[in-house]
Structure 1
Amino acid sequence: MFQTLNNDFEILEEIGRGRFGTIYRCFSPLSGDFFACKTISKSLLLDPTDQHCLIKEPKILNLLSTHPNITHLHKLYEDDNYLHLVMDLCSSEDLFDLISKSGRFSERDSACVFSQLMHGITHCHKMGIAHRDIKPDNVLFDAHNRVKIADFGSGEWFGGGEERVMMSGIVGTPYYVAPEVLMGKEYSEKVDVWSAGVVLYVMLSGVVPFYGESAQETFEAVVRGNLRFPSKYFRAVSSQAKDLLRKMICKDVSKRFSAEQVLRHPWVINGGELAEET
């Protein structure tokens, strides 16, 4: 039998809600620390794919969560009706909320968030895991304002070295998903690089690079992959930042940067501060 959650934690107020789970703030009397508890109802997981995600996410988090930029899974509890994941307690405002409030970020602030995001993604890829749903909503911040990548429900193992395999299946979020995913092709972990590039584009401009009046029109715009930098939004953005965006939001996967290459780009290394103004 699994140890009951209530033996170790006091469950406090609800702080979030998703398709299958509710997130509560909780307190550990033993350590004196606060955490977030994601409670998933098994009764809502009718689709076999959803059931697979239920099993997969804790395994992925256990593998990855030693990294400072990935949400840490502290404890896992299960009973007949629920799965409880006790994780880092993060701010109520995610990156999407912050962009919505500010409109856009400076290059320095964008680089600060983006560098941490890419360090987390690079760690995932080194461990043979692709997130497959990188977007501002899944970029959280802890009490020290440190980036935490969350929600590995769409994550997939692709291996490494001789065991490396291509992935398949349409997952992700319309504005951020890579074109090869929508085209029904097999794909690599570079789908995360495309998505992270779109996140950076949004931080710098306050708008998405590919947009349609419907999901279908958005998908068609993504598949075309015609990347532009409207002067209305990018007049003050440096040429270095645009160069990095072109190398990440690149339809030709063979020319698209890897996560490690992104971290070696001058704009990232210089923290957006020494960027040449256009």
Structure 2
Amino acid sequence: MCEALKTQYQVSEEIGRGRFGTIYRCFDPLSNEPYACKVIDKSLLQDSTDRECLQNEPKFMTLLSPHPNIIGIYDVFEDDQYLSMVMDLCEPHTLFDRIVNGPIPEAQAAALMKTLLEGVAHCHRRGVAHRDIKPDNILFDSGENMKLADFGSAEWFGDGRSMSGVVGTPYYVAPEVVLGREYDEKVDVWSCGVILYIMLAGIPPFYGDSAAEIFEAVVRANLRFPSRIFRNVSPAAKDLLRKLISRDSSRRFSAEQALRHPWILTAAQSPHLTSESPLSQ
């Protein structure tokens, strides 16, 4: 890792590993504040797309910081071999770990979705589309604050430009992306809708036995609410799902509109979560 990093921070144990990099716990020796340090080995980058992602992540994170629901970045170090980013330290478990065991109550889902949408709306106000929103990229700090992370696939749309390119993860990607069309920031809203569906139903709205089958289901966008699964889900929650998971992106809600939906405004104001809830496990 970069020598400059080691002179300013005390780097300790490894806490995570990705395709191109390793995440370490580190400390500022002056303040003793703990951070996470993501160290990316440039030799593992395979093409220009990988290299672009490498440069995108610190650029967009710096543009978006500080925000309570976006992972914060504090320092960037780079030499010929490594790029290192000092960021908020989060817990090892992601939103995926918290929802993988089945549906969660509406009040909890609404509180989580409100927080996620606030982070997404902040990105969009700054002209940044995340383009790979999924439960694995939604982290929590030690105070249970949600943090949207992993901006390697993010793109700038702030000057009115449209975006293109098949980016994202099969279950969560919007149909206009799969179809190879130009698209706007509402691809992130679709992904949020899919996450909300999974939180309430315990299963994704569109699925298949392979990536190709999942993409086919996404393009059809035949949104259903099986009575056996949704019998205890409120009409207001299903109404919001229809507005988030709309195949027609011109009719799809923006993140700001979703935050004003009655289900978000009322359900998210429910009493605080109990210690038995999936959020605190």
Q: TM-score, normalised by structure 2?
A: 0.93
Of the three residues 207, 211, 218, the one matched with 1:211 is 207
Mind listing any 5+ residue stretches in structure 1 that lack a counterpart? none
* Equivalent runs, 1:123-142 vs 2, <5 Å: 123-142=122-141
How many angstroms apart in 2 are the aligned matches of 1:218 and 1:257? 23
Deviation at 1:271, TM superposition (A): 2.8
Q: Which residue of 1 aligns with 2:273?
A: none
Q: Does 1:171 align with 2:167?
A: yes
Cα offset for 1:272? 4.6
What pairs up with 1:124-203 in 2 under 5 angstroms?
Answer: 124-159=123-158, 163-203=159-199
For 2:279, the equivalent position in structure 1 comes to none
Cα-Cα RMSD: 1.2
User: Structure 2: which 5+ residue stretches go unaligned?
Assistant: 271-281
Amino acid of the structure 2 residue aligned with 1:25: R
Offset of residue 122 of structure 1? 0.2
Contact 2:243–2:252 under 8 Å retained in 1: yes
Residue 107 of structure 1 contacts residue 273 of structure 1 at CA under 8 Å; is this kept in 2?
no
- Alpha-carbon distance, 1:32 to partner: 1.2
What is the one-letter code of the residue matched to 1:167? M
Q: 2:115 is matched with which residue?
A: 116
SS in 2 for 1:113: helix
Aligned twin of 1:244? 240
Matched letter for residue 246 of structure 1: R
What pairs with 1:76-87 in structure 2 (closer than 5 Å)? Answer: 76-87=76-87
Q: Conserved in 2, the CA contact under 8 Å of 1:183 and 1:223?
A: yes
Q: Which amino acid aligns with 1:27?
A: F
2: CA distance, partners of 1:90 / 1:122: 21
Q: Aligned pair 1:70/2:66, yes or no? A: no
Taking the aligned partners of 1:118 and 1:7, their CA distance within structure 2 comes to 38
CA drift at 1:68:
0.8
- Within 5 Å, give how 1:40-79 maps onto structure 2: 40-79=40-79
CA distance in 1, matches of 2:112, 2:102: 15
> Whole-Å Cα distance in 1 between the matches of residues 24 and 228 of structure 2?
41
Q: Post-superposition shift, 1:273? A: 6.1
Match of 1:220 in 2: 216
Q: After alignment, is 105-114 or 174-183 more displaced?
A: 105-114
State the 1:3 CA deviation: 6.6
The equivalent residue for 1:36 is: 36
The one-letter amino acid of 1:184's match is: G
- Within a 5 Å distance, the mapping from 1:225-236 to structure 2 comes to 225-236=221-232
Q: Could you tell me which amino acid in structure 2 is paired with residue 249 of structure 1?
A: I
Given that 1:74 and 1:87 are in contact with CA atoms closer than 8 Å, whether structure 2 keeps it comes out as yes
Question: Which deviates more, 234-243 or 3-12?
Answer: 3-12
> Following the alignment from structure 1 to structure 2, what is the Cα–Cα distance between the partners of residues 95 and 15?
17
* Pairwise CA distance, 1:235: 1.2
Contact 1:115 1:263 in 2 (8 A): yes
Quick check: 1:11–1:25 contact (8 Å CA) kept in 2?
Answer: yes
| Amino acid paired to 1:185 | R
Contact residue 109 and residue 199 of structure 2 kept, 8 A: yes
1:184-237 Cα distance to aligned partner (Å, 9 max, x none):
000000000000000111111111000011110000000000001112221111
Tell me the distance in 2 between the aligned counterparts of 1:273 and 1:221: 34
Q: Distance in 2 between matches of 1:218 and 1:88?
A: 34
Are the equivalent residues in 1 in contact too, given 2:114–2:268 (CA < 8 A)? no
What's 2:277 paired with? Answer: none
Report the Cα distance in structure 1 between the residues aligned to 2:48 and 2:198, rounded to whole angstroms.
34
Residue 103 of structure 2 aligns to a residue whose secondary structure is coil
Task: Report the alpha carbon displacement of residue 91 of structure 1 after superposing the two structures with TM.
Answer: 0.8
CA contact (8 A) 1:61 1:71 kept: yes
Distance 2:179 2:126 in 1: 26
For residues 227 and 94 of structure 2, the distance between their equivalents in structure 1, rounded to whole angstroms, comes to 27
